[in-house]
Amino acid sequence: MDCFQLFFFIFVMFLFIKYLIMKKLFALFCVLMVAGIALLFSLSTTPNVKKATVKDVKENAVLLDKNNEDIQLIGTISSQISKKKFWFEDNTGQIVIEVKNSLLPMVPSTNQIEVEIRGSVDCETEAGGGVKINVSELIFDNEEEIQIM
C-alpha cells in the first residue's frame, strides 16, 4: 500500500467516523476498523513469490532482477563454491546461490536433501558476471522454514 492509498483510506474513514458518531455506532466501527487495518497490513507485507526453475531464472534473469521479484526454486544444493556460495540444481540445470550468513548453518552437507529456496535474482551484466540467487529463505522437506528478517 503506497502513501496515497493510505492517506485516502484514512480520509474516508474519518468521514465515516463522523457519520457513525451521529448514529451511535462508533464502538462497532472501531472494532471493524482495527480488524481491517490489521488485514491490510498483513496482505501488504506478504511477499509475492514466483515459482520457477533454474532454466526459467537463467532465461529471464535480467527481467527478474530489474523487477526485483522474489522467486522460489525446489532442488538440491550440490556443492560449495566458497564460504557463502553454492551450486544449486534442479532437473533443468544449475545456478549459483549466495546464502546469507545467518542461514549458513542450515545448509545441508549432502546433496541428497531436497530444499526449497526463496530469494532474489542478481544478474551481473558486466564482463565476467553471471546470474546468482540471493537466498533469503531455506525450506526443507520436513517443512522447517528458516527466514531472514
Phi first, then psi: give them for residue 91, nearest 5 degrees: -75, 0
pLDDT value at residue 146 = 44
Is residue 73 a contact partner of residue 53, using CB atoms and an 8 Å limit? Answer: yes
Digits of tens for pLDDT over the chain (149 positions)?
566 677 777 877 777 777 766 666 666 666 677 777 777 666 655 467 788 899 999 888 888 888 888 899 999 888 888 888 989 999 999 999 998 877 877 777 666 778 888 999 888 765 556 888 888 888 876 544 444 43
pLDDT at residue 145 in the model: 44
Residue ranges covered by each domain of the chain: 3-44, 49-147
Query: What is the pLDDT at residue 73?
Result: 92
- CA neighbor of 85 nearest in space, from 97, 74, 103: 97
Given this model, what pLDDT does residue 110 score?
Answer: 65
Tell the CATH topology of 49-147.
OB fold (Dihydrolipoamide Acetyltransferase, E2P) (2.40.50)
What are the backbone angles phi and psi of residue 144, rounded to the nearest 5°? -80, 125
C-alpha 28, offset from chain centre: 35
104: which 3 cell numbers? 549458513
